[in-house]
Every structure is written in structure tokens, then in C-alpha cells.
Structure 1
């Protein structure tokens, strides 16, 4: 009876640990996706000077392009 109890407790702990790891990994992936989405928007700032082709500024290369 004791061994059965011990193994069921062990199994519960392992399952809980796996769930925690999965949740942590999911949060990391979501954070990376959010970071990439935000970074992509901030990487290129569009300046519309009223012309038909707005200037796009890239802070990484410090250049403007039409």
C-alpha cells in the first residue's frame, strides 16, 4: 500500500512539473512572438510627407528609402 501511495505521489509530482514546464515554454514562445511583432513595427518608421511615396526610415542603418 505504501509503495502504491509513493508512486502515485511521484507520478503526480512529475505530471505537475511537466505542466509547469509546458506553461513556461508557452509563455516564452508567446513573449518571443510579441517581441518580434513589436520590433518589426518599430524597426521601420514611415514618414508621410504628403507625397505619393512615403519615406521609410530604418534606425538600424540610419537611412531613408522611398
Structure 2
């Protein structure tokens, strides 16, 4: 961007210039999404292996 164009660019176009309120909202949303992903992952890890799958694995031995 030329110097003239940079000075005409709105403040919101500059990286890191979000208002504090918007940053808090983004942070809260990110935290919420992260929490939901951790919960789904934990449920998946704790899920039992289906007996049909175990039978197939035993046939490989």
C-alpha cells in the first residue's frame, strides 16, 4: 500500500486494533469452543470399543 492509502485506511483494518470489548468477546467465544472440543474429545476417548470391532481385531491374531 502506498503511504497515502495507508493513512486513509480505517483503524479497524490495522491488525490488533480491535476494541477491548471485541477482544473479550472473541476470547470468550474461543474459550467456549475450546471447552466444547475438550469435552467431545474426552467423551470419545472414554467411549467403549464395540464388540464387533474387537472380534475383527482378534481374528487378525
Partner of 1:28: 31
- State yes or no: 1:48 paired with 2:51: yes
Deviation of the 1:40 alpha carbon = 0.3
Instruction: Tell me the TM-score normalized by structure 1.
Output: 0.47
Would you tell me which structure has more strand in proportion to its own residues? 1
TM-score (norm 2): 0.50
Q: CA deviation at 1:24?
A: 0.3
**Alignment root-mean-square deviation, CA:** 2.0
The number of aligned residues is 36
State the shift of 1:47 in Å: 4.2
Runs of at least 5 residues in structure 1 that lack an aligned partner in the other structure = 1-14, 51-66
